[in-house]
């Protein structure tokens, strides 16, 4: 099972390394979407500082959801997904490896780009640290739930919009605690409660979501 | 008609459920009308005026039962969808699909009546408070379920994918509720609980319970009607449906 996990993960990373521009798209989307907000709401520094954690989270959410749609699509189109599901190892390994690959290719670049965003929005050091820590705990949740949505909507017309509609409600707790942690730090309070809850959400999702994704893959490819 | 002996699963057969539901639906409509008339009469004419909120509170007789139904129906839908998935019970999946629009309707009704109630009491149509927000997210969950099952053409896959989504959603509902609750709360506390003595006049409670029963009866009537339609649609190839249509359908 570990071999299958590693094989699928490394395969996805290798595929992404052959299509570098494709794998940069989510992080570019993230930055572009974020830079729309000062244009939309006005360049007042205090207001931008106040809304920064929330919009960073929302843009990270959208970047994850828009990129996760293609997670299984290529493998479905060329038939390799069915071959992987025929492997004697449980499909959970595939689901977990795909989610991990998505996080490495989307979540991690977003986190790396976030300090830059912090500069754009004038976030203070501690607030930026809280934002990064929250994203580090929260973006894996987005990848795990996004993979579930991608598996459920595999091969459907208008799959992209549908995926966003069914996954976004499930990700709201992560958004609340992730953005809440930064607000707490900015208000001079401790954010450890928020981080504990995010960590708990991550553990729960990591245990449950690959199972559901595996079931969804079986349903969708039957 | 010589019927086979009744067993626990007799009505899990779509054909027999079709007959049973067809017989029950008029009675549920009668119950709906009678209970609604009684509940609204007690609520609007007999229940006393609220000391602080005046007459405006009377929308509670629709708002609270609708909110109850919206949450209950999601769980009922997830339950039947799960049964249908786990045991390959066709009828259970059909019932789950028939429940979704009614559940979404009650969720919308709860939100809408809440907005109408909020305007005179809080002075605003909408606040981003814990219960309003989680009810809104519940509406999104219903819409996601409906959109997913309608986007999949293959009936079997649609039922199973819908079941998985509904089950994941029902696991998430409490998580969403508590996270939104810690996020922000301003809504008045629950007025009715099973353990504490009710804090409202007994006529108000009677009206609310009558309205709840009326909504139950309505939900049964509508869900059974919709299930009957789904049964006929999906069993169109079966002999009994052709007989039903008086030979007007393709054999």
Q: What is the DSSP string of A68-96?
A: HTTTTHHHHHTTHHHHHHHSSS-HHHHHH
Task: Indicate yes or no: CB of A170 within 8 angstroms of CB of B168.
Answer: yes
pLDDT for res B143? 94
Alpha-carbon torsion, ordered B148, B152, B156, B162, to 10 deg: 0
Fill in the DSSP letter of residue B57: G
Say which residues have a Cβ less than 8 Å from residue A198's Cβ, sequence separation at least 6.
A134, A137, A138, A141, A174, A177, A178, A181
pLDDT for res A17? 87
- The dihedrals phi and psi of B50, each to the nearest 5 degrees, come to -70, 140
Task: Indicate yes or no: CB of B180 within 8 angstroms of CB of A176.
Answer: yes
Is residue A94 a contact partner of residue A216, using CB atoms and an 8 Å limit?
Answer: no
pLDDT for res B1? 47
Report whether pLDDT(A14) > 80: yes
- Ramachandran category for residue B115: left, alpha or beta (phi over 0 → left; psi -120 to 50 → alpha): alpha
Give how far A30 is from chain B: nearest CA, Å.
Answer: 24
pLDDT tens column, A157-178: 877 889 999 999 999 889 888 8
Angle at A217 between CA B102 and CA B156, to 5 degrees: 45
Q: Give B145's contacts in chain A (Cβ within 8 Å).
A: 166
pLDDT in tens, chain B (251 residues): 455 666 767 777 888 888 888 889 999 999 999 999 998 888 888 877 776 677 777 888 888 899 999 999 999 999 999 999 998 888 999 999 999 999 999 999 999 998 888 888 777 888 777 778 888 999 999 999 999 999 988 888 999 999 999 999 998 888 887 877 777 644 445 555 444 445 567 888 888 899 999 999 999 999 999 999 999 888 888 778 877 777 554 54
pLDDT for res B194? 45
What average pLDDT does the segment A77-92 reach? 87
Question: What are the residues of chain A with a beta carbon less than 8 Å away from any beta carbon of chain B?
Answer: 148, 152-153, 156-159, 162, 165-166, 168-170, 172-173, 176-177, 180, 197, 201, 204, 208, 212, 215-216, 219-220, 222
Domain segments of chain A as ranges: 2-221
Cα A34 to Cα A41, A62, A141, B95, distances in angstroms: 12, 11, 21, 44
Give how far A162 is from chain B: nearest CA, Å.
Answer: 7
Could you give the percent of chain A with pLDDT greater than 90? Answer: 44
Would you tell me how many other CB atoms lie within 10 Å of the CB of residue A206?
A: 15
The two structure tokens encoding residue B81 = 């969808």
Q: Tell me if chain A has a CB within 8 Å of the CB of B100.
A: no
Say which residues have a Cβ less than 8 Å from residue B238's Cβ, sequence separation at least 6.
B15
pLDDT for res B200? 66
Is residue B161 a contact partner of residue B152, using CB atoms and an 8 Å limit?
Answer: yes
Report whether pLDDT(A13) > 80: yes
Q: Coil, strand or helix: which one is B51?
A: coil
What average pLDDT does the segment A99-125 reach? 90
Higher-confidence position of B243 and A98:
A98
Fill in the DSSP letter of residue B49: P
A209 → chain B, closest CA residue: B168
């Amino acid at each position: 099972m570990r071999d299958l996990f590693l094989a699928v993960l490394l395969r996805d990373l290798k595929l992404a390394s052959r299509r570098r521009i494709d794998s940069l798209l989510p992080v570019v989307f993230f930055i572009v979407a974020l830079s729309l907000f000062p244009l939309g709401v006005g360049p007042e520094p205090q207001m931008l500082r106040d809304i920064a954690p929330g919009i960073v989270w929302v843009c990270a959410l959208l970047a994850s959801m828009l990129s996760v749609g293609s997670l299984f699509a290529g493998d479905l189109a060329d038939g390799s997904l069915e071959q992987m599901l025929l492997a004697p190892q449980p499909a959970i390994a595939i689901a977990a490896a795909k989610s991990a690959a998505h996080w490495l290719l989307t979540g991690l670049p977003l986190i790396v780009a976030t300090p830059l965003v912090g500069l754009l929005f004038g976030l203070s050091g501690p607030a930026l640290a809280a934002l990064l820590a929250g994203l580090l705990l929260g973006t894996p949740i987005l990848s795990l739930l996004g993979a579930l949505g991608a598996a459920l909507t595999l091969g459907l017309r208008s799959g992209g919009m549908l995926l966003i509609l069914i996954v976004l409600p499930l990700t709201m707790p992560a958004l609340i605690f992730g953005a809440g942690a930064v607000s707490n730090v900015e208000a001079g309070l401790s954010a450890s409660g928020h981080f504990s809850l995010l960590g708990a959400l991550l553990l729960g999702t990591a245990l449950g979501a690959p199972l559901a994704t595996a079931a969804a893959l079986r349903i969708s490819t039957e | 008609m010589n019927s086979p002996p009744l067993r626990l699963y007799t009505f899990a057969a779509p054909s027999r459920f079709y007959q049973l539901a067809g017989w029950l639906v008029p009675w549920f409509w009668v119950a709906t009308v009678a209970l609604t008339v009684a509940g609204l009469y007690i609520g609007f004419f007999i229940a006393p005026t609220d000391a602080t909120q005046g007459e405006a509170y009377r929308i509670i007789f629709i708002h609270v039962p609708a909110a109850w139904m919206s949450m209950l129906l999601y769980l009922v839908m997830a339950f039947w969808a799960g049964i249908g998935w786990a045991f390959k019970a066709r009828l259970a999946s059909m019932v789950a699909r028939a429940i979704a629009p009614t559940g979404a309707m009650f969720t919308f009704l709860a939100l809408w009546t809440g907005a109408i109630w909020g305007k005179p009491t809080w002075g605003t149509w909408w606040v981003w408070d814990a219960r309003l927000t989680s009810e809104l997210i519940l509406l999104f969950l219903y819409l996601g379920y409906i959109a997913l099952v309608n986007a999949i053409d293959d009936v079997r896959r649609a039922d199973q994918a819908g079941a998985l989504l509904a089950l994941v959603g029902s696991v998430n509902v409490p998580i969403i509720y508590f996270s939104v609750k810690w996020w922000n709360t301003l809504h008045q506390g629950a007025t009715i609980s099973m353990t504490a003595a009710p804090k409202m006049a007994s006529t108000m409670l009677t009206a609310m319970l009558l309205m709840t029963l009326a909504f139950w009866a309505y939900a049964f009537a509508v869900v059974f009607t919709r299930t009957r339609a789904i049964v006929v649609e999906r069993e169109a190839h079966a002999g009994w449906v052709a007989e039903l249509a008086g030979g007007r359908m393709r054999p």
